[in-house]
Chains A and B, each alone.
Chain A
């Protein structure tokens, strides 16, 4: 049964504070504050302060060691005028949209298929096999796919074996295939690359009370109809959570490009995060890097606010 907030919320506090003064309350609870201290010290030093520092330094030309120089919004102006950055925006939009679509479909499909098997042991076996890419470190998956994409690599070898030799090319070396190739990594996108979506969906499905299925079958609904009328609505919480998490992660990530293409060829696979990385750690323009980071933050913040309702409902209905 859902334990609502109400017994522990503002109302309760308000009643108390009329009787006890704030100072007495604080003293009474000093043990609590002390035990919360380590956590908050960590968070302040390593989360809050860097965040504000980044926002602050985005207005400076800063090299990390030498003196800073206030430049106002010059960094941002330069950023939007920069051809490399503009291309990175275009690329990240494409990547985000496709990967979000991917994360909402393929893991869900696999979860449904697994869930609908009659034999629990088979379910267990298949589930384990789907999850194999997750035990491999992400870097290994990346380097493996880098190898698959080689002109003499696995993908081309398979194409040739299938008689589709004319499709063979250097996937990461062509201007028009580099970005799609990056997006395609991880096919069939069920698990791995750090995503837990499949397991989350599966757990969500398993949590649906059997009674709902029984009732609807009695009403004559087919399994397919049930999927749309029961499964998906009840998975909304997870779906929305995966949606928001995927967006947040994908918009800022660049490790794939860093390892495999360095943004190339040309600017074909450049993304904002990589632009920030090179400007910071290769060219030592920390202020400008902070500006790019601030921009990314603004994007994510906006997208998150738009979805705020969905997070709230995900929070209240599940633990994930």
Chain B
């Protein structure tokens, strides 16, 4: 009996040790980032691993002046595309899931086929199209292609989820005289909130992190989102880099995502689970 408890304790402790090691390895680079963001440039270069000789809060102020535009742009662009994707994907998925109409299967498989087309194949013609539409160097030049990309996965997910909802709910509502739009708005949508949030978060994060597309379409400084904005922040004066404010800038651009995750993690996990539970 005692050895069993003993064994159990060892197991638990070793689990914790393993996890803590992994967590330490995961977080150490970022703690380095935090510590370095409070140093002056020379302090970083001469004293890379140690604690700041002088704590420089001013780095954050200087960085903020530079990166607030980028953060604003990213929020606007990613927010817009997520809104569009959620709107379009949810009702499209609903239609595909719960209605019969000619060509439904064909159209749906056509959408799935798009999943297999890699981003890089379409990159060049997409660039030409966006250029010819005059959307280069504009936020919409990013938002619309992003939306079309997110729609594919989004419709796929929403359709699968909505198809799995029990028919009875809809039947009873139809009997009560509800029309299709009401079925969508009052039943399907509320039930799929966790999924919608999960899809929304994934799309938000993917577009927030997109490097290549903004890189080739946006060159005007005031429109740059976080990803390429930070690259140009670093390159402001290649002969006179200033890593302190640069690192502070990196951390500042993480804040929106931190906030997003803090508020939505619960729903996101629920969304991931919701799919699985429907076994």
Chain A in direct contact with chain B (Cβ < 8 angstroms) = yes
* Residues of A in contact with B (beta carbons under 8 Å apart): 1-3, 5, 7-10, 12-13, 16-17, 22, 25-26, 29, 32-33, 35-36, 38-40, 42-43, 45-51, 53-55, 57, 64, 109-110, 113-114, 116-118, 126, 128-140, 143-145, 148, 152-154, 157-158, 161, 187-188, 190-192, 194, 196, 199-200, 202-204, 206-207, 223, 248, 251-252, 255, 258-259, 273, 276-277, 280-281, 286, 289-290, 293-294, 296-297, 300-301, 304, 315, 317-320
Q: Which of B22, B49, B99, B120 contacts A276 (CB 8 A)?
A: B120
A273 engages B120 (CB within 8 Å):
yes
Q: How far is the CB of B252 from chain A (nearest CB, A)?
A: 10
B148 engages A319 (CB within 8 Å):
no
Kindly state the separation between the CA atoms of A9 and B98 in the bound complex, as whole angstroms.
11
Q: How far is the CB of B197 from chain A (nearest CB, A)?
A: 12
Determine the residue in chain A with the shortest Cβ distance to B95: A32
Q: Mask for B4-34, Cβ within 8 A of A = 1, else 0?
A: 0000000110011011001101110110110
Name the interface residues of B225-279: CB closer than 8 Å to any CB of A.
226-228, 230-231, 234, 250, 253-254, 257-258, 260-261, 265, 268-269, 271-279
Most chain B CB atoms below 10 A, which of A47, A54, A191, A304: A47
Can you list 30 pairs linking A and B with CB atoms under 8 Å apart? A12-B100, A29-B101, A39-B88, A45-B148, A46-B122, A46-B126, A46-B148, A47-B148, A49-B125, A51-B114, A118-B12, A129-B26, A130-B22, A132-B27, A136-B30, A139-B231, A144-B29, A144-B33, A148-B29, A154-B29, A190-B22, A199-B272, A207-B276, A252-B120, A255-B211, A286-B128, A289-B124, A293-B118, A297-B118, A300-B116
A42 engages B26 (CB within 8 Å):
no
On whether A16 and B100 interact (CB within 8 A), knowing A54-B122, A154-B29, A293-B124, the answer reads yes
B121 engages A297 (CB within 8 Å):
yes
A319 engages B122 (CB within 8 Å):
no
Q: How far is the CB of A148 from chain B (nearest CB, A)?
A: 6
On whether A47 and B272 interact (CB within 8 A), knowing A26-B102, A113-B18, A319-B164, the answer reads no
- Residue numbers in A under 8 Å from B48 (CB-CB): 152-154, 157
Determine the residue in chain B with the shortest Cβ distance to A55: B121
- Residue numbers in A under 8 Å from B260 (CB-CB): 135
